[in-house]
Amino acid sequence: MPELPEVEVVRAGLEPAVSGATVTGVEVFDERSLRRHDRALGDFEALMTGARIEGAVRRGKFLWFPLDAGGAAPRALVAHLGMSGQVLLRTPGEAPEKLLRIRLMLHHPVHGELALHFVDQRIFGSMAVDTLQPTDDGRPAGYAGPGMAPGGPAAPAVPASAALIPSQVAHIGRDPLDPFFSPPEFYRALARTRSGIKRVLLDQQTVSGIGNIYADEALYDARVHFDQPAASLSTPTARRLLAAVRAILLRALAEGGTSFDAQYVNVNGQSGYFSHSLNAYGQHGRPCPRCGTELVRTKFMNRSSHYCPRCQRLR
C-alpha cells in the first residue's frame, strides 16, 4: 500500500498542474471507485463539473483537492489510493488505461487542456466529494507544499481552505513531515501505551503516513525491536526513533518512493527507487549492514516485520 512518500510524490506532481484548473468533464467508468462518496451531497459528476480546484493537500496517506464551487459549502475532492490506486496526468485524447476507473477533464489557465486519470487494479482506492470542516487547532490541515512553515502562511495554492479538512480525514493524526506535527504530543502518546512500538507507528490516529515498510526501516535505524512496549522507550530513544522516521521518509521522498512492482507510480507513470536503499524490509536472510547477523522476518498483524535480532533486541 502506498505510504506517505508515495502519496507526497503524487501530490507534488499534481499540484502545479491542477491548482487553478476548472473541471470541464467527468466520466465514471466503475461506480465501485465512488464507494466513499456520500450521495446525499449530490451526484459526483454534477458536483465536480464546473468546480475549480484550488490546490493539492496531503495528510498521511490521504490526498485531497479543495474546490471552489461558486459559493457552495466548502468541499474537496478526496482521493485515497488504497492498495493499487494511481492518479495520472494525461493529455486529452490519449488512449485510456485498461484499468481506468474515473477520468476528469480539466482546463488550466496556463497549461491548457489536461486529463486526470484514476486507475486502480484492485479497486480498494476511491474518489469522493466530501465536506470540509475546521481543524481542531485552527492550523493548516495538511501538507500543501514547501511554502508551509510553522507560524507562517500556508502554501499559496490553498489560502482559502488551509485550515479546513475533509470529514473523512479529520480523525487521522498529523504526519511526521507536517510542519505542525507536535513531537511532545507524540512522546506523550508513546508514554501512554504498553502496545508494541510498531503497532503505535502504524496507528494512523496517533501518527499518520507510516506503513509497514517505513516502520521497519525506522525501527532498524533506531535499533528498536518492533515489539518493544512504547511506554518503555526512554526519552533519548523516543527522540532517536522520531528522527529516524523523519529521515527515512525524507530519503524515500528524494528517491521518488518505493516501487516493488508496477502498482506504485508517480503522476507520469514512473517508478520510485527507494526499494534499492532498504536496510531491513524484505532483506531477511541477508547479513545486517551494521553487524553481519542474518536479518529475520516474522509474522506481525497479518503482515511481516523485518529486523536484526542482535541490533534490535527486545529490552
CA angle 19, 22, 24 (to 5 degrees): 145
Is 198 labeled as catalytic in the residue annotation? Answer: no
Catalytic position from the list 2, 5, 140, 176: 2
Q: Which 3-state string (H, E, C) describes 68-129? A: ECCCCCCEEEEEECCCCEEEEEECCCCCCCCCEEEEEEEEECCCEEEEEEEEECCCCCEEEE
Residue 2 annotated to the active site = yes
185 catalytic residue (yes or no)? no
Instruction: For residues 10 and 270, give the distance between their C-alpha atoms in angstroms, rounded to a whole number.
Output: 11
Rounded to whole angstroms, the Cα distance separating 36 from 145 reads: 26
CA–CA distance, 167 with 130 (Å, rounded to integer)? 7
Would you call 303 a catalytic residue per the annotation?
yes
Q: 58, 61, 90, 103: which is the annotated catalytic residue?
A: 61
Helix 235-254 and helix 212-222, axial crossing angle in degrees, nearest 10: 130
Tell me whether strands 52-53 and 62-68 are parallel, antiparallel or unpaired: antiparallel
Select which of 35, 188, 303, 315 is catalytic.
303
Alpha-carbon span 218 to 4, nearest angstrom: 14
Instruction: Write down the residue that cell numbers 486529452 correspond to.
Output: 92
User: Which of the residues are catalytic?
Assistant: 2-3, 61, 303
